[in-house]
Amino acid sequence: MQRPVVWVAGAVLAAVALAAAAVAGAAVGFAVGRAIQASAPPGERTVAGEGPDKVALIRLVGPISQEGGGILPFGRSASARAVVGLLERARRDPAVKAVVLELNTPGGSVVASARIHESVLQLRQGGKPVVALLTEVAASGGYYVAAGADRIVADPSTLTGSIGVLVVLPNLQEFNRRLGVRTVVFKSGHFKDMGNPDRPLTAEEAAIFQALVDEAYQRFVDVVAQGRRMDRARVLRLADGRIYTGAQARRLGLVDALGSLEQAVALARELAGLPRARVVEYTSPGWLGSLLDLGPPWPRPATLEDRQPFSLQYLMVP
């Protein structure tokens, strides 16, 4: 009877030892991976050209939000945090002498658009010229970002402009009435449930929302006037929310030149005084970065940010 007991005990001890070794190995591997990641140069690929100097190509695709990822009517949104990170990466890289920011976006969050715009200005203040390239659509918040660049290049058929601000509030009162749904609201202040979709806005509430829109709109006008070195009164005449083609925007002074990526790169090189340069695009961190939680492949869980009732938007409505 003693021999089976010894066998069982030996098996248990062996299993414990293997588990301890696995945990220790994982810890060592994680530490080594972190060290490798910290010491390795950031990934990038050469798109065109040659030479030690670089022009960084950074793409902003989709509606602009703070964190990105959500599926919107326009498609998957672009993360302002990620774009700002790439712009900062270009700012810190001494070999990067200029940046081409390619935009294909209908705009989006006021705060997120302003955040990217500020990063563009920081690049310029650091002596690195920025050329904005407008492709399919670069409207509203997309144009807000572009207005911070040294120069703007657009395809003749680009849809741009849409200079203005939106707040969209659903009204489900009639829908809920037909379903027999009623809501009861307890609130601490007269305006605490502003935007409640189960009732119409009051005149006072509408005035408050309009004041928010007007304030953000004035900032947008200022950004365009300063970025384009344009008289503010002229910007106001152009900023009635309408969209323009790239060719129309060129004639109106909202765009500097018509062209594609090749023209934008050539202009960036000219502004930076580069006879030649490599055009580089930053790449993802790869399997090691994903393993170390640098870019989880699964969707992030819903947060309060996803459920916000409304927000100010520099957005072109489809």
Beta carbons of 83 and 102 less than 8 angstroms apart: no
* Closest of 78, 83, 61, 69 to residue 300, by C-alpha: 69
Q: Is 140 a catalytic residue?
A: yes
Catalytic choice (77, 79, 140, 162): 140
Q: Is 54 a catalytic residue?
A: no
* Closest of 104, 144, 155 to residue 121, by C-alpha: 144
Q: Write out the two tokens for 31.
A: 């530490």
Catalytic choice (192, 260, 284, 290): 192
CA 139/CA 79 separation, integer angstroms: 17
Tell me the one-letter amino acid at 127: G
Catalytically active residues, by annotation: 140, 192
